[in-house]
Chains A and B, each alone.
Chain A
Amino acid sequence: MTLVIDKLVKEYQRGRPVLKGIDLTIDGAGLTAIIGPSGTGKSTLIRCINRLVEPSSGRISLDGTELTTLSGSELRRARRSIGMVFQEYNLVERLTVMENLLTGRLGYVGALRAWRRRFPPEDIARAFELLQIVGLAEHADRRADALSGGQRQRVAIARALMQQPTLLLADEPTSSLDPKTSVEIMTLLRDQGRARSIPVLVNMHDVNLARRYADRIIGMSGGHVVFDGVGNELDDGKLGGIYGGESWLEDAD
């Protein structure tokens, strides 16, 4: 699996780019953490990959498929192989845990079958298996809004894994969670990425967590990549380059 991002630019308002030409190659399995101050475009970068945000210019290719020009059913097909985990879990609150997991198969199951909850048996078997893995086996028919934050994020990870993704994206997956739960969620993301040998791309705030879990750390500041290396190389000087100075004042929207 290879993800190549080439001169990616995103501006929400004309002349005020949030991403100012990002070049990045993610090759093979491993957890890559993207750190950087708020408003620097980490979330925008992640969302450009599965086109929840439309890039303004530049290219993103996944295993040779150019993603930025896809539309309609081609885009949906590409999205099927990209799992995503969100900061606020984004579960469908009024559906059960099982239904939320099966949401991960909606790219494969037609509306008529899905609406009547006629999912293929292998999907349901996989859902139970994943619930076992994330430790929520006994919660299958509870409603998502009855779960705690950590439980919800585990459901969200299981939902993303239901897609059998070739790339897993996570947008600040631990920012709404307490430190202990954050560690559990990061462990789950790393281990599942390894078990499936897929790359995991995680936005995060917590530098220590990034050092602890990431095989590679990318530091962003002011819409640029300013650091790209392993945790050991991320000394105070480098951190100053990412968070320090006045860079946090730019693109504060």
Chain B
Amino acid sequence: MTASATPPAAPDRAAADRAAAALGGAAATRPFRTSNSARLVGVAILCYAVYAATQLDFSWDRFQAGLVHGGRFLSRMFPPNFERWPILLQGLIESLQMAVLASALGIALSLPLGVLGARNLMPPWVTEPVRLLVSLCRALHPVIVAILFVKAVGFGALAGILALAVASVGFVGKLFTEAIEEISMKQVEAVRASGASFMNVIGFGVVPQVLGRFVGFATYQLDSNLRNSTMVGIVGAGGIGGTLFSAFQRFDYDFVLAILISIIAIIMFGEVLARLVRSVYIDGRGLGR
């Protein structure tokens, strides 16, 4: 901008306009800025979407063919078939157990990790490795982690529990850390000033401030684990997902629908369960008694 060397000295309007023009464009006289580069990016995104659609056979003809197929599929799902309910029930119970165990394990691990990752309580040489560990747990989708554990410890519920526990640490650990970093340090300072040990500072200065939110995060994670526990079975990590996958493979679509209805029911049951836990710990007088 060389124009800055010649500022508009005259107060009249024409001089101001000239100065604005000299400053590289009519920005000063137009009410809105129009950006050609923004338009260009918009056009580019549109072009790429069209290109990608042709590449992937994402066309109306393909969709119509799919509709016919989908109609056949739906008709074979009805009515849902609950004849093999013992298998169904066994899978559901396994999923529920996996979700509860994984949540308990994940939350138990997240509590210390959440404290160790909090920058207001710990020095950087502690927080940074812990934060890295927690974000590693979050980096991979639970199904991918489940595949890794199936390869490592073999088929079955153990792999699923471990995979869900890792995912829980990834999310709950991060949320715990963030909750701790938002607490009032004045309360912590007062507890510290009494000569309290580190564990007592945590127990009396930190935990009371975050307990309500911790319970909220934990029940949210239980909910989420229940959902995911119905899925990791697809890769052989136990639970109802395995039953669902083999029903698909054997084209037992009426049994598939029965499984899906059961999964929806158990997820809803899980939400009721989570709400119950929350009402006991948060809404009630769960603190300090």
Closest to B203 in A: A115
Q: Interface 1/0s, chain B 182-203, versus A by CB < 8 A?
A: 0010110111111111011111
Chain B residues whose CB sits within 8 angstroms of the CB of A43 once the complex forms = none
At the interface, yes or no: A62 with Cβ under 8 Å from chain B?
no
B204 within 8 A of A: yes
Query: Across the interface, do A79 and B195 meet the contact criterion of CB distance under 8 Å?
Result: yes
Q: Is the CB of B190 within 8 A of A163?
A: no
Which among B191, B195, B203, B209 is the interface contact of A93 at CB below 8 angstroms? B209
Q: Are A84 and B196 in contact (CB under 8 A)?
A: no
* Interface status of A111 (Cβ within 8 A of chain B): yes
B193 contacts A52, CB within 8 Å?
yes
CA distance A90 to B201 in the complex (A): 13
Contact residues of B between 130 and 165, Cβ < 8 Å to A:
none
| Chain A nearest CB, measured from B122 CB (Å) | 16
Q: List B contacts of A78 (CB < 8 A).
A: 195
Given the contacts A90-B186, A90-B187, A90-B190, A95 and B196 also touching, CB distance less than 8 Å: no
Contact of A95 among B184, B197, B201, B288 (CB under 8 A): B288
**B91 part of interface (Cβ distance < 8 Å):** no
Interface of A is mostly: mixed
Partner of B200, one of A84, A96, A111: A111
Q: Flag if B203 contacts A114 (CB, 8 Å).
A: yes
Write out the residue numbers on chain A whose beta carbons fall within 8 Å of the beta carbon of B189. Answer: 52, 86, 90
In Å, the complex CA distance between A88 and B197 comes to: 23
- Also in contact, A95 and B199, with CB within 8 A (given A90-B190, A103-B190, A106-B191): no
Q: Is the CB of A86 within 8 A of B186?
A: yes
A106 near B195: Cβ-Cβ < 8 Å = yes
Cβ of A99 < 8 Å from any Cβ of B? yes
Q: Are A107 and B203 in contact (CB under 8 A)?
A: no
> In the complex, what's the smallest C-beta–C-beta distance from B264 to chain A, in angstroms?
37
Chain A residues near B (Cβ < 8 Å):
50, 52, 73, 76-84, 86, 88, 90-96, 99, 103-107, 109-111, 114-115, 117, 143, 156, 159, 163
Q: 6 closest Cβ contacts across the A-B interface?
A: A107-B195, A111-B199, A106-B196, A80-B195, A79-B195, A90-B190
Q: List 9 A-B contacts (CB under 8 A).
A: A78-B195, A86-B186, A86-B190, A92-B187, A106-B191, A106-B197, A111-B197, A111-B203, A114-B203
